[in-house]
Amino acid sequence: ADRVHLLAVSKTFSAGDVLAVAACGQRDFGENYIQEGVDKITALAAHTPRLVWHCIGPIQSNKTKLVAEHFDWAHTVDRLKIAQRLSEQRPAHLPPLNICLQVNIDGGPTKAGVSPTDALALAQAVSALPRLVLRGLMTIPDPLENFDAQVAVHLQAKQLFDDLHAALALPQFDTLSMGMSADLEAAVQAGSTLVRVGTAVFGKR
Ligand SMILES: *Cc1c(COP(=O)(O)O)cnc(C)c1O
């Protein structure tokens, strides 16, 4: 239980729904759509204890400023250009933005995420940016029905995470963001440290 963090994915749900889950003790919330996320972050800014907001949706160049100014984490960085913009636009009064690199662990060339072979080079470049802190990797494998098949894909991500952890030697590289409602048990078995769960917390979208 100490190794795995729960990220409650609140996309499409209201600020009031977030409050209901926060009342159960949940602190970390994930949003896919940046403007929708910013609206909830703003509405709930006075909440104590403070809520921690994770951007888990695609980040286009024209949205980096909103992410840098409002979120605590960004899980979907897969290009240096986006990371550079996030670092440049992170306000000085905020701590560095926590970053996970999205890795395309199982997919073809059209799927989002850096390829496993390019992940180390991107990680080295991102970890040098002053206003970011590189926390780990994130994956969204294609849905699989079979538990063992789910574990096998997640184990590939775990292996890559361990390889990068050893090569980078960064103390804060501690997060493997993988597992959603349909495959969180397999992800935890394979070594996930953070599961992103929407439907199984909030209900059907
Ligand atoms: C929506 C979403 C989730 C949560 O999905 P559920 O199947 O509802 O648990 C997790 N990660 C990402 C990137 C998502 O877009």
pLDDT digits (tens, 9 = 90+) for 30-74: 999 999 999 999 999 999 999 999 999 999 999 999 999 999 999
Q: Give the model's pLDDT for residue 128.
A: 98
Closest ligand 1 atom, residue 56 Cα: 13
Model confidence, pTM: 0.97
pLDDT digits (tens, 9 = 90+) for 115-172: 999 999 999 999 999 999 999 999 999 999 999 999 999 999 999 999 999 999 999 9
Percentage of residues in the chain having pLDDT higher than 70: 100
Is residue 192 predicted with pLDDT exceeding 80?
yes
Between CA 104 and CA 1, with CA 143 as vertex, the angle to 5 degrees is 85
pLDDT digits (tens, 9 = 90+) for 167-181: 999 999 999 999 999
1 pLDDT band, cuts 50/70/90, is confident
Is residue 2 predicted with pLDDT exceeding 90?
no
The contacts of residue 28 (CB under 8 Å, 6+ apart) are 5, 6, 7, 8, 51, 52, 53, 54
In angstroms, what is the span from residue 93 Cα to ligand 1's centroid? 30
Q: Give the model's pLDDT for residue 109.
A: 77
Which among 13, 32, 104, 142 is the best mutation to test ligand 1's pocket, defined by most ligand atoms within 8 Å of the CB? 32
Minimum CA distance residue for ligand 1 atom 6: 198
Q: Give the model's pLDDT for residue 157.
A: 98
Is residue 110 predicted with pLDDT exceeding 90?
no
| The pair of three-digit structure tokens given for residue 78, joined into one six-digit string | 């897969």
Minimum CA distance residue for ligand 1 atom 12: 56
